[in-house]
Chain A
Amino acid sequence: MIAVTYPITGGDYAAAGSASRGLKEQLKRLGVASEVMRRVMIAAYEAEMNVVIHARRGNLWASLNGGRVDLEVVDEGPGIGDVEAAMREGWSTAPAEARALGFGAGMGLPNIRRASDLFEIDSKPGRGTRVRSTIYLRRLEAAGSRPNSIAVRGELCQACLDCVAACPTRAIRLRGGKPVILEHLCIDCTACIAACRCGAFALRETEGPADWAPAAASAVASAVASAGAEVLALPLGALAGFPQAGPEEVMTALTAGGWRELRLTEEWETGVNEDTLSWARSGGVAASTKLPAAELSASAKLLTAVEGFTTRIARRQRLIIGGAKSDRVNADSPVDGLLRGVDGRWAGVAHTIGE
């Protein structure tokens, strides 16, 4: 995961856009695809300008983690009395100064919502405004080449809607009385499997190695390589920049591309991965001592979840816990599933390798 924060000063039109520009530079270094970048920039710039125009100050926070870009812009401003009205195109309270520059047309919030896969706004008069936007790295067309891990058996569904309520990303719709997963929203958290009482959701086989990895690796390499360099250092988040690829596969392809050594900049992740490999060979369930304090705190809640998860995938023999660098498991690895942090909580990602 990579996270950045940029301060925004209200009324400072001269510096307006600098937070979004900083974010763009970060995401560009991580190899985020241009269409994703376009949507992120729309959301970030509109939210930033809202702070400049309406608030005293604010912050733009962004993270790249688990195949998604999350933005949060919080301001110390007057707040919005009628959020519903503010979401309508053309509704604006912008001052003449902003309108003279072409801003304040009442399109900002609707633009952010259109650019986002997930959108939230929380505002009260006198208490400022908080806007959240999530944009997934994986598009609909990419999802076709890397299907989700969840299979739907519609014939078993009793239309109780428990899965719809359980899904944290609102990826499940009921069509014709049967559940349908919107693959570009699904994060494979398996909450639907846990919620369903009639077995309409199950894990499905994953695909074998795909042929996109060399191209992905080439994109990374061309972005960061310098002549004669032998060691390629990557922030961990860079590996999430390929919507069709698992980080493990990007790393493998980079190695094949001639780099003598690849280094990830988050040491503890590397440590956990070493443990992961060790457990994968020995079997069983364990948590790494190399997890940092914040992650360990989260893992305290994990043990119960682990039991539930292992029950759900009873056919599997081994389960790995920790911030493993890949949410996909190498085809020749004996790992059957792993748990990883998603938005501060643990989610299970099961893989059907090695029947």
Chain B
Amino acid sequence: MTVQALARTIGASLLLPGKNPDCGIDRIYAADRMSDLLEQASPSTLLVTRLANPHLFRLAELMDVPAICLVRDAPPEAELLQTAGACGSALLVSAAGMEQTCRLLEQCLGADRAGQPA
């Protein structure tokens, strides 16, 4: 499922499309520890976190993460968007909190796997 489709379905704002907007997302992983995100990152994983800092985007660049979703209580500062833009990952901001965002994303991916509309 593409980042754009995921963002549209869960009602998240797509602040940055990323360098590869057609990249398929088949897994989400949520955490607030950099080590956890680092270990679970992959080129098809969407990371969900409250860690809205430049290190998150450097990590995403190192691990070829296609997209990051920040949540309602951790919106990005304006200057952070510059770092995010350089790393090449798409950036979403969910209107929901962490748990609800994960629930919505999982529903989307589950429906996509089953070939059903989300």
Contact = CB atoms under 8 A, between A and B. Distances in A.
B98 to A, nearest CB: 14
Interface stretch (A3-11, A39-47, A57-65, A158-166): A39-47
Nearest to A110: B35
Interface string B61-88: 1111000000000000000000000000
Contact of A41 (B49, B51, B62): B62
A13 B55 contact: yes
Nearest to A114: B39
Contacts, number: 58
Given A20-B62, A21-B58, A102 B39 contact: no
A268 interface: no
B21 interface: no
B62 A21 contact: yes
B34 interface: yes
Interface of A: 13, 16-17, 20-21, 24, 34, 38, 41-42, 45-46, 49, 101-103, 105, 107-108, 111, 114-115
Contacts of A103: 34-35, 55
B42 interface: yes
A107 B33 contact: yes
Nearest to A98: B34
26 contacts: A17-B58, A17-B59, A21-B61, A34-B64, A38-B41, A38-B42, A38-B63, A41-B38, A41-B62, A42-B38, A45-B38, A45-B59, A46-B35, A46-B38, A49-B34, A101-B53, A101-B55, A102-B34, A102-B49, A102-B53, A103-B34, A103-B55, A105-B36, A107-B33, A107-B36, A108-B35
Say whether chain A's binding surface is mostly helix, strand, loop, or mixed: helix
Contacts of B38: 41-42, 45-46, 111
A45 B33 CA distance: 14
B46 interface: no
B51 A102 contact: yes
B112 interface: no
Interface of B: 32-39, 41-43, 49, 51, 53, 55-56, 58-59, 61-64
A279 to B, nearest CB: 44
A101 B63 contact: no
A17 B35 contact: no
Contacts of B36: 105, 107
Nearest to B41: A38
Contact of A111 (B35, B51, B53, B62): B35
A241 to B, nearest CB: 17
A101 B59 CA distance: 12
A99 to B, nearest CB: 9
B86 to A, nearest CB: 11
A96 to B, nearest CB: 14
Interface centre among B35, B49, B51, B62 (most CB of A within 10 A): B35
B57 to A, nearest CB: 10
B58 A101 contact: no
A16 B39 contact: no
